[in-house]
Structure 1
Amino acid sequence: MERDELVQLLSPQGLDLLDSLPAWTSSADVVRTVADLRKQGHSPGLVAAVLSQSKLRTRARSKFGEFADRMLFTEAGLEQSTRLRVAALHAGRYARAGLRHVADLGCGIGGDALAFAAIDLEVTAAEADEVTAAVAAFNLTPFPRVRVLHARAEDVSLAGIDGAWLDPARRTTAGGTTTRLADAAEYSPSLDFAFGLGERMPVGVKLGPGTDRGVVPAGTEAQWVSVDGDVVELAVWTGALARSGVGRAALVIRGDAAHELVAPADSEDAPVGPLGDYLYEPDGAVIRARLIGDLARSNGAWMLSDGIAYFTGDRLVESPFARAFRVLERLPADERHLRQALHARGVGTLEIKKRGVDVDPAALRTRLKLKGDDAATIVLTREEGRHVALLVERL
C-alpha cells in the first residue's frame, strides 16, 4: 500500500465506504463493483484502496476472526502476522513471567500488540515502515495503554520496559509483489540485534518454521507451533520467558485445543523395526522440533526407517501429536505392478503420501491412469531402508 492510498483510505469518506462494502467473495464482479463506485463519485484511487482492503479483510478472517472486519492491512503485514490464537498464547507467556510493559519491535500491522493489550499489558510498538506503522496505529486505537512509534527497532528506548517481542521482517514488497527473504542476514531487525537483546532482557523472537536451526542460540527455548496441521512459526524464548529445562517444544493447536510436547533437547530416534499394524505421521511441529523419538517411545512404537519421519506400532494410540493410519496391505513398490494392483481394486481416487522417496505424487497419479469407483490412500516410503508402497486407512 502506498502512502497516498493510505491517506485516502483513512479519510472519513474512505473508512465509511470500506465499512459499507459487502464481504469480498471470489465470485465478486470486480468490474461492475468498480463501475458502481465510480458512478457514486468516488475517485479511482479510493476505489482501488477500499477494494484492496476488502479483499485483505476477507483473507484475514482465518487469522483474526471477526476482528478482521474492523482492521486495516498491508499485503506483507497480513502474510507475516501472527494468528490471533497464537498471539494470545504469546501474550499469556509474558503475563505469567510477570512482565507488565512489553516492547513489540517490528510490530507490523499490530497483531501481537493487540493480543498483549487485550490482557491489559502496556505496549510500546515500533514499526520502521511508515505506512505499516500507520496501519498498526489504526488497528490499536481501541487500546489506551498502547503507543505506536514510527521507528526502527534498534532506535527504540527500552527504559522502563520489562521484555520485548520481535517479529523480524522476512518479506519485502516491490511493485505490488511480496517476496519472502531467503537469507536470515537480510531480516529487519537483524537476528544479531534480536538475540543480542535477548542477552539483556526477556525476549521472544518469531521466525519462520523452516529457519535454519543453527541460528537458535544455545540456552534458549525453541518452540515450533502448528495450527490445524500447518506449522506456522518458530518462537525462540530467552530469559524469564524461557521455561526451565525446556530446550525444544512442539505446540500443536487444533481447533480450540492446544497440546504441547517438550524436552530438554532434540530427542534420539526410537529404534528401527519392521512395519506394524499402524503407521503414524507426526505433526509438523513435532518433526521440526525433532521430538519424533520421544513421541514414538511414549506410544510404544518404533521408527519405520532411519531418517524417515514415520513411526509404526502394533496398537492404535490416539494422540494430538500424530495422525494414525491402519495398514491394510503391502502393494508392489514398482510403478507398473502398483498400477495393476490399484486397477484390480477398482481405485479411481487416490491420495498419495510419501516420505524418503523421490516421486511427484501428482505426476505419478496421472501415470497410474486410475479407473474405478473406490477411493484409497497409499504411502510411499522406506521400511528398514527398502522402498515400500502401503495401502492404508486414515483414522
Structure 2
Amino acid sequence: MSALDDVIAAETRLSEVDGVNGRLVICGHSLDALAGRKTYEAVLALLLGDLFPGSEDTLRSELAEARLLAFQRVARLDTDLLSLPITEGLRAIMARLPDGEDKSAALLQIAAPAVFVPALIRGKSGKSPVPPDAGRGHAEDMLVMLTGAQPSAEQVRALDTYLVTVSDHGLNASTFTARVVASTRAGYASAVLAALGALKGPLHGGAPGPVLDMLDAVRAPENARSWLTSELARGERLMGFGHRIYRVRDPRADALKSALSRLGAAGGMDAARLALAEAVEREALALLRAAKPGRVLETNVEFFTALLLEALGFPRDAFTGVFAAGRAGGWIAHAHEQIETGRLIRPQSRYIGPKAA
C-alpha cells in the first residue's frame, strides 16, 4: 500500500468519488444528472462558481473568446513540434502559454487543449488547422476544428457527455499534481502543465488507446472468449477493466455506454464495432469473475472512452489529449481551491536508507 493511500490530503467541494457504491458526485450533482443532460460549460459553471460568479451563458462566451486567443498560438506549430507524439506536442505548446492566477489565465488553460489537440491532429496529417468560432459551444467547436465539417447534434452531445464525465474525479494523480503546484503559487499554467505530465502515464490517462488494440485483435464477437482466455492464461491484463478506487462498476463507463448507444441509434457509430465491444465486455467480465473471484474487476471508463472517441473521429494516439481537454476544467477548479486555502502542500517522508556513519 502506498504511504498516501487513504490519507486525506485536501478538503474539497468539487467532487466525491464513492468507490464502494460506484457513485461520482460533482458539486452536489450525481454524474447521472449531468452526463448527457448538461453541457461542459454548465459543469464548468458548477466547478468554477467561485472564479466565475456570472451566468453559464457568460462563461460560455468567455470560454469561446479564450479559444480564439489559444488559436493564435497554432500558427507556431513548427515541424519539430508536429514530429512529436500528440500528447507530447500538446505539452510543448501548452508550455508556451502565459502563466498567472487571474480569470483570463484560467480560461486560457481550459480552452487551449480543445484547440491544440485538433490542430495537432490535422497538422500531423498535413491539413491546415480550422479556426474556432465564438458562436459555437465548446464540444461542437472542438469537433468542427477536428473535421472541418458540421457535426450532428448527437455527435456534439456525445462529446459533451465525455467532457462532462471526465471533468473531475476526486484527488487522482494529475489533479493532486495540479494542487501541489498551485499551492506553491506558481500559476495556473504551471499547474496544468504538471498535471498533463502526470496524465500522460499509462497508469492514469495514457491507457484508453490499447482498448482498441484489443478489439482489433479479437476481430469478431465469436472470437472474444478464446482470445481473452488466452490473454488471461499468459498473465496479461485486459484493458478497460478494473479500477483503483471503484469496488463496483465505474459509473463513468455507464455514462459513456449510454452516449454510445444514442450515437449508434443516430447512425454515428459502426454497429459491428459496437457489437464487438459488447461481446468483449460480456466475455471479459465473465472470465475475470471466474479467474479472479477475490477481486472486483468491472468495466472502467477507459473501455467506452476508446469507443466513443474513435466514433467521433479522434485517432487513438490523441485520446490522452482529449482527456486533458475535459479534465482541464477540474484541474483549474482544484488549483483555484488550493490557492484559496493559502497553504503549501508539504507532506513528510519516512527515511529508510542507511544510517549515517
Task: Give TM-score, length-normalised by structure 1.
Answer: 0.20
The structure richer in strand per residue is 1
Task: Give TM-score, length-normalised by structure 2.
Answer: 0.22
The structure richer in helix per residue is 2
User: Greater Rg, structure 1 or structure 2?
Assistant: 1
